Amino acid sequence: MTVTALIVAAGSGSRMGRDIPKQYRLLVGKAVLAHAVDALASHPAIDAVRVVIGEGQEALARQALGSRDVGELVIGGATRADSVRAGLEAIGSDVVLVHDAARPFCPADVVDRLLGALDGAGGAVPVLPVADTLARADGLLGEPIDRSQAVRVQTPQAFRLRELREACRRWTGEAPTDEATVARASGLGVAVVEGDAALEKLTSAADWARAETMLASRLVSRTGMGFDVHAFAGEGPLMMGGVQIPHSKGLAGHSDADVVLHSITDALLGAAALGDIGQHFPPGDPQWKGAESSVFLAHAAQLVRDMGGIIDVVDCTVICEAPKVGPHRDAMRARVADILGIPVSGVSIKATTTERLGFAGRGEGIAAQAVATVRVPQPSL
């Protein structure tokens, strides 16, 4: 039995009221859509994840997804039901799990329950009981509705792909809000399984704040340090903090010898306990000869984000008699912030001399040391 997770992400997020649709916004360092994709892709029973996006959302979606494998993006339609239908026509598998991108967290046991229930039913949906009083209202409060007979229906919703596709083709009513409605209308029996509060959909700004607090509370703060030295050799200019700095002497190194970026890269790798720069980019490897060190730093930042982590601050001290760092400080901060994808306020660059003592004091080279503070998911003990 092959299973495809179909994630619909073609909405505009109008009720969230932000400049970009909610599914492409970063929720604690990672796009909502990426959270949803990761939650489903990591389930062993799910063979493929496909994503439906809105017309003109390709760039946002690509940025949100990074290197995640979701095959070709499918273009959705004006309503959620149109988007689901476009997705169903574009995929091929035995079973489909239709899921909202706006539900970033999907516990694995919900998927287990859905797939288990599909054995004896035409479809399966996760549901939660209604805790509040339920009533009709039309300006004035109307009749109460018996809440013991009502449930709240979430996604993912599981069906045999061929049956759901047929049911959607036959549907002629108003745009339905979920697939179970369509499946039932075509005569399929839909089983209910226990849903999960983590599956709550992000609809309003208040939902966003709640999800952010919940996620952030699972992160722990960690700090790493980095240190690097390069000797002066040949003529300048030299690279520091990703910025070209005029100087009479250049720096020797296999890459562009950017001590600032190297020390910050090592600090980040240290904070995430992911080894050091030499392990990720061996100095003997010809592909890194003359390489721009921004590649190393961007890679380290991506590794932290791939862990579900956030980079809070980096702080670097450059140790040399010359060149003067001060005039270039703001350009270096801006460039480092850009490479890391964090605000400039999270990047500090400082400089000191060693009072003419030691190799830096004699003008033989430049040293840099850095610390980085990140927040990453609590490592399992």
Q: What's the closest the beta carbon of residue 55 comes to ligand CTP, in angstroms?
A: 10
Greatest alpha-carbon span in the chain: 86
Q: What's the closest the beta carbon of residue 255 comes to ligand CTP, in angstroms?
A: 42
Beta pairing, strands 151-153 & 140-145: unpaired
- Is the Cβ of residue 155 or residue 317 nearer to ligand CTP in the bound state? 155
Out of 5, 52, 168, 300, the residue judged to bind ligand CTP by CB under 6 A:
52
Q: For residue 229, how far is the Cα from the chain centroid?
A: 33
HEC secondary structure over the chain: CCEEEEEEECCCCCCCCCCCCHHHCEECCEEHHHHHHHHHHCCCCCCEEEEEECCCCHHHHHHHHCCCCCCCCEECCCCHHHHHHHHHHHCCCCEEEEEECCCCCCCHHHHHHHHHHHHHCCEEEEEEECCCCEEEEECEEEEEECHHHCEEECCCEEEEHHHHHHHHHHCCCCCCCCHHHHHHHCCCCEEEEECCHHHCCCCCHHHHHHHHHHHHCCEEEEEEEEEEEEEEEEECCEEECCEEECCCEEECCCCCCCHHHHHHHHHHHHHCCCCCHHHHCCCCCHHHCCCCCHHHHHHHHHHHHHCCCEEEEEEEEEECCCCCCHHHHHHHHHHHHHHHCCCHHHEEEEEECCCCCHHHHCCCEEEEEEEEEEEEECCCC
Q: What's the closest the beta carbon of residue 20 comes to ligand CTP, in angstroms?
A: 11
- Is the Cβ of residue 11 or residue 87 nearer to Mg ion in the bound state? 11
Amino acid identity of residue 146, one-letter, is D
- Is the Cβ of residue 12 or residue 63 nearer to ligand CTP in the bound state? 12
Q: Site residues for ligand CTP, window 188-227 (CB under 6 A)?
A: 201, 203
Amino acid identity of residue 196, one-letter, is D
Q: What's the closest the beta carbon of residue 202 comes to ligand CTP, in angstroms?
A: 7
- Is the Cβ of residue 15 or residue 289 nearer to ligand CTP in the bound state? 15
Q: Site residues for ligand CTP, window 284-343 (CB under 6 A)?
A: none
Segment near Mg ion (CB under 5 A); pick from 8-16, 110-118, 229-237, 273-281 = 8-16
Out of 80, 249, 328, 375, the residue judged to bind ligand CTP by CB under 6 A:
80
- Is the Cβ of residue 14 or residue 378 nearer to ligand CTP in the bound state? 14
Out of 4, 23, 93, 265, the residue judged to bind ligand CTP by CB under 6 A:
23
Out of 5, 6, 11, 277, the residue judged to bind ligand CTP by CB under 6 A:
11
**Do 195 and 152 contact (CB within 8 A), yes or no?**
yes
**Do 76 and 8 contact (CB within 8 A), yes or no?**
yes
**Do 228 and 266 contact (CB within 8 A), yes or no?**
yes
**Do 297 and 278 contact (CB within 8 A), yes or no?**
no
Does position 74 bind ligand CTP by CB under 6 A? no
Q: What's the closest the beta carbon of residue 82 comes to ligand CTP, in angstroms?
A: 6
Q: Site residues for ligand CTP, window 98-117 (CB under 6 A)?
A: 100-102
Out of 34, 46, 61, 76, the residue judged to bind ligand CTP by CB under 6 A:
76
Binding partner of residue 78 among Mg ion, ligand CTP, none, CB cut-off 5 to 8 Å per kind: ligand CTP
Does position 258 bind ligand CTP by CB under 6 A? no
- Is the Cβ of residue 5 or residue 351 nearer to ligand CTP in the bound state? 5
Cβ-closest position to ligand CTP: 11
- Is the Cβ of residue 52 or residue 370 nearer to Mg ion in the bound state? 52
Q: Site residues for Mg ion, window 291-320 (CB under 5 A)?
A: none
Q: Site residues for Mg ion, window 10-49 (CB under 5 A)?
A: 11
Does position 64 bind ligand CTP by CB under 6 A? no
Out of 3, 9, 95, 311, the residue judged to bind ligand CTP by CB under 6 A:
9
Segment near ligand CTP (CB under 6 A); pick from 70-78, 258-266, 289-297, 342-350 = 70-78
Any idea what the Cα angle at residue 299 is, between residues 294 and 301, rounded to 5°? 95
- Is the Cβ of residue 64 or residue 367 nearer to ligand CTP in the bound state? 64
Binding stretches for Mg ion (CB under 5 A) = 11
Binding stretches for ligand CTP (CB under 6 A) = 8-15, 21, 23, 52, 76-80, 83, 100-102, 201, 203
